[in-house]
A and B are shown apart, each in its own frame.
Chain A
Amino acid sequence: GNSVTQMEGPVTLSEEAFLTINCTYTATGYPSLFWYVQYPGEGLQLLLKATKADDKGSNKGFEATYRKETTSFHLEKGSVQVSDSAVYFCALNLPLNTGNQFYFGTGTSLTVIP
């Protein structure tokens, strides 16, 4: 089946620390991979995506590289800010998926303290 596994949270970091949130996937086929972010009280916002192996998605200082050999799409940021505090969701979609539904991980809560 199709699924996404994220590292357990919550994660608490000091400002300017390095962030890694692990994400691995299982998919029947060649998925597109996404990271979404959910700020408190808001909906899911697309952070970045990668559609094929070795692609790197990047946005707002965040990066993730599609690793087919390890079926991973880990999210990284070199220096986090307080404003990055949110819940981060890894997700996949399949190009021939009839319903086009996304499969989400459980989310990882990040708190950045000054």
Chain B
Amino acid sequence: EPEVTQTPSHQVTQMGQEVILRCVPISNHLYFYWYRQILGQKVEFLVSFYNNEISEKSEIFDDQFSVERPDGSNFTLKIRSTKLEDSAMYFCASSVGQGNQPQHFGDGTRLSIL
């Protein structure tokens, strides 16, 4: 069964450094998402992406965050200057459509900011 893959599984970065989290969505999916889960808290929406542009973003997704689909295969999340509070599990997801279509999640990247 096709799946969403994320790399790396764990990223440790110094505060203030840039970090790029990578995702390969399921190949026939058209909608892409990033979520994050701070330890012990709920899964929070960051951004959705469709037709090569952001369709929605949350308050969390400020100017330090950006997303890109550079080559029709990968879907990346960049954090420009990381802060301690960016430490979380970041999940990529994709779906074939909207509304009642399930989103398929990767295993996540654990980001630790030192």
Contacts and interface: CB of A to CB of B under 8 A. Distances in A.
A42 interface: yes
A106 interface: yes
Interface residues of A, number: 27
Contact of A98 (B41, B55, B100, B107): B55
A6 to B, nearest CB: 9
B75 interface: no
A51 B100 contact: yes
A43 interface: yes
Nearest to A44: B105
B104 interface: yes
Interface of A: 32, 34, 36, 41-46, 49, 51, 89, 93-107
B108 A43 contact: yes
Contact of A100 (B44, B58, B98): B98
A100 B95 contact: yes
Contacts of B55: 98-100
B52 to A, nearest CB: 15
B102 A101 contact: no
A95 B95 CA distance: 13
Contact of A43 (B31, B33, B50, B105): B105
A44 B99 contact: no
Q: Do most interface residues of chain B lie in helix, strand or loop, or is the interface mixed?
A: strand
Nearest to B32: A100
Interface in B10-61: 31, 33, 35, 41-45, 47-48, 50, 55-58
A102 B45 contact: yes
A9 to B, nearest CB: 11
Contacts of B91: 43-44
Contacts of A49: 100, 102
Contacts of B42: 89, 104-107
Contacts of B56: 97-101
Contacts of B50: 100
Nearest to B6: A43
